[in-house]
Amino acid sequence: MSKSRFKTSDTSINRRTALKYGAGAAGAAALAGRGWSAAAQEATPAASAGFDLSGMEVSGDVTIEYWQYEFESKTTLVEELITQFNEANPGITVRQRNFPYDDFRQQVAAAVQAGEGPDVLNVFYGWIPAYVQQQFLQPLSQDAFPHDVIESEYFPMVQAARVGEEYYALPTAVRTLGLFVNNDLLEAAGVEPPTNWEETVEVAIATTQKDGDNFEVVGMTWDIGGQGHHWWRECLIRQNGLLPYSEDNREVFWSEPEGVEAFEWLAAFLLEHEVTQSGFQTDGATAFQNGAAALHVDGSYRVGAYTTNAPELNYSIVPLPGNVEQASFASFWANTITRNAAEGDKNIAAHKFISFLSSPDVMRQWTPATGELPALSALAEEEQFTSDEKLAPFIESLPFSYATFLVDEAALRQDVIDAFDQVILNGVDAATAVAEAEASTQERLDEYWAAIDEG
């Protein structure tokens, strides 16, 4: 199907707006010449101590603006953190601004168009590739944040903040997917939480309750538009022994037999085992919250919502059941430097603030306040994180969690939703639907990389 959800068919148009990739790298090199080299020598990879930016100082008073979306636990914490940062860094003032999540990107776009906007911007990692293409983000200085330190001390999913040869962002915290298990329903059915694919199917079948044709309890939630698309694309495919993408994120491999098999395994819950239903209680998270679903795949951020909305819900969390491999999906919000702070004191102040936000001290405050998981691997072993029975399974999943390289979040999600709809509603066979989704996503990737490479 050659449908076009905003694909510019003529790549030559994109070239004009594409990142002048070489220019970006040259900019970073130029930075190194401006008082950064001293820092480079001191940037020894101390064990999870983050980065040493003591060699760079601002030349006078400077104010930078930090933007993140409105989320009370995060904005309140950042206010406190800013006070801590300002005390430690006299001369630098950080001002925080917040916008509702739903129009956060519009606000950013409007401000940038008006010649204003943030110096340090907290972005969803999946927006980074596009922002890089738009030349909106500055690469992080390699002297301040050496790549070998990032790659050895942070969990692997942080590499999704890398485009080409540069890192554009560092997170404070990350989130992963896990399997939410309703303890009461499993106990009633006399089954244990599943640890592999086979058991997952068994548990889903055992826990399903029907009244005639009507489901009263679904064994497994069905929510491709929620987390289901991540579950297949990044978790099930890997668990089945296939890499969904090439290492450089240029090629999609879903239509290999392992990918199709993973797709069929998931679709079978609906089509073959009949243990779930599309649209049951509107969506998966709601069905699980109402105690009407035994198994549900969701992110660590859902724990907070359940604590508030369903304090009585008796559930636990286990890592996603694996097959030949274990794998989970990870995502994160990360701090970036925009082109507003491309040089001078603003750039130095921005680097210092990002370094601060990614420090172990901040992470230790962040996780209890927000429920997000620390991004540094050394921290995840600390007792305060491993002792929390709701957080522990997510933390356990961090070493094998991967963040999909998202060139256009909404469009890539739609590709997967459409593939499942084709199979379920139109009876298309899985191999064809997967091949179509792969072709569509591949086209988007090709277009993206053409813009980056030829820009």
Partner 1 sequence: MRLTLERRKWIWAYLFLAVPLIFFLSIRIGPTLFAFWMSLHEWDPIALDRPFIGLENYREVFDDEVFWKAFRNTWIYVVVGVPAGLLFSLVVALGLQRLIRFVGFYRVLYFIPYITSLVAVGWVWRWMYTPNGVFNDVLSRLGLPQSGFLGDPGTAIYAIIATTVWQGLGFQIVIFLAGLESIPGDYLDAASVDGASGWQTFRDIVMPLLNPTIVFLVVTGVISNLQVFTQIRSMSSAGTGGPLDSTISVVLYVYQAAFQSLPSEMGYAAAMMVVLFVVILLITVVQLKFLSRGAYD
Tell me which residues in 421-450 interact with partner 1 (CB under 8 A).
Answer: 421-422, 425-426
State the nearest-atom distance from the C-beta of 321 to partner 1, in Å. 25
Counting beta carbons within 10 angstroms of the beta carbon of residue 30, is it exposed (0 to 12), middle (13 to 18) or buried (19 or more)? Answer: exposed
Minimum distance from CB of 370 to partner 1 (Å)? 25
Does 214 bind partner 1 (CB under 8 A)? Our answer is yes
Up-side HSE of residue 127: CA atoms within 13 Å toward CB?
Answer: 17
- Residue 225 near partner 1 by CB under 8 A: yes
* Residue of the chain from 199, 264, 382, 409 that contacts partner 1 (CB under 8 A): 409
115 binds partner 1 (CB under 8 A): no
Q: Does residue 418 belong to the site contacting partner 1 (CB under 8 A)?
A: yes
**Which region, judged by CB under 8 A, interacts with partner 1, from 83-91, 133-141, 263-271, 373-381?**
133-141
Helices (H) then strands (E): counts for the chain: 20, 14
- CB of residue 212 to partner 1, shortest distance in Å: 8
The least CB distance from residue 421 to partner 1, in Å, is 5
Going by C-alpha positions, the residue among 261, 254, 273 that lies closest to residue 200 is 273
Concatenate the DSSP letters of all residues of 8-42 into one string. Answer: -S-HHHHHHHS--HHHHHHHHHHHHTTTTHHHHHH
Write out the binding residues for partner 1, residues 260-289 only, by CB under 8 A: 277-282
* Ramachandran class of 117: left when φ > 0, alpha when ψ lies in -120 to 50, beta otherwise: left
| 310 versus 318: smaller Cβ distance to partner 1 | 310
Residue 213 within binding range of partner 1, rule CB under 8 A: yes
| Closest C-alpha among 245, 233, 250 to residue 164 | 250
CA within 13 Å, CB half, 84:
13
The residue type of 4 is S
Query: Rule CB under 8 A: is residue 21 a binding residue for partner 1?
Result: no
For residues 224 and 380, which CB has a smaller minimum distance to partner 1 in the complex?
Answer: 224
**Which phi-psi region, left, alpha or beta, contains residue 160 (left: φ > 0; alpha: ψ -120 to 50)?**
alpha
Q: Out of 32, 369, 411, 431, name the contact with partner 1 by CB under 8 A.
A: 411
User: At its nearest, how many Å lie between partner 1 and the CB of residue 242?
Assistant: 25
Rounded Cα–Cα distance for residues 454 and 251 (Å): 18
**Residue number with CB closer to partner 1 (322 or 455):** 455
Q: Which is nearer to partner 1, 118 or 393 (CB)?
A: 118
Least CB distance from residue 297 to partner 1, whole Å?
16
State the minimum distance, in angstroms, from the CB of residue 16 to partner 1. Answer: 5
How far CA 388 is from CA of 45, 74, 373, 382, in Å, comes to 29, 20, 11, 11
Helix pair 430-454, 257-271: axis angle to 10 deg: 130
**Using CB under 8 A as the criterion, which residues of the chain lie in contact with partner 1 when the complex forms?**
1-6, 8-10, 13-14, 16-17, 103, 105-106, 108-110, 112-113, 127, 130-131, 133-136, 212-215, 224-225, 277-282, 407-411, 413-414, 417-418, 421-422, 425-426
